[in-house]
Amino acid sequence: MEFNTALLGKWCWRMLVDRGGLWFRVLATR
């Protein structure tokens, strides 16, 4: 459980920091 939460936190952090990156592009394409 703890490992899963840490992984999720990392993903959320990456999405927030990488707004102009791939994640944002994927959302904009939809």
Listed by start position, the domains of the chain span 1-29
Return the pLDDT at 3. Answer: 78
- Is the separation of the CB atoms in 18 and 24 below 8 Å? yes
Percent of the chain residues topping a pLDDT of 90? 0
Return the pLDDT at 27. Answer: 74
2-30 average pLDDT score: 77
6-28 average pLDDT score: 77
> What are the angstrom distances between the C-alpha of 27 and each of 1, 4, 6, 20?
28, 24, 23, 11
Gap between the Cα atoms of 13 and 17, Å rounded: 6
pLDDT at 15 over 80: no
Gap between the Cα atoms of 2 and 17, Å rounded: 23
